[in-house]
Amino acid sequence: VERGRHTYLLDGDNVRMGLCRDLGFSDADREENIRRIAELGRLFVDAGLIVITAFISPFRADRDLARSIIGDDAFIEVFVDTPLAECERRDPKGLYGKARAGLIKNFT
- Which amino acid is located at 21 in the chain? R
CA torsion sign for 66, 68, 71, 75 is positive
Write out the catalytic residue numbers: 57
One-letter-per-residue 3-state SS of the chain: CCCCCCEEEEEHHHHHCCCCCCCCCCHHHHHHHHHHHHHHHHHHHHCCCEEEEECCCCCHHHHHHHHHHHCCCCCCCCCCCCCHHHHHHCCCCCHHHHHHCCCCCCCC
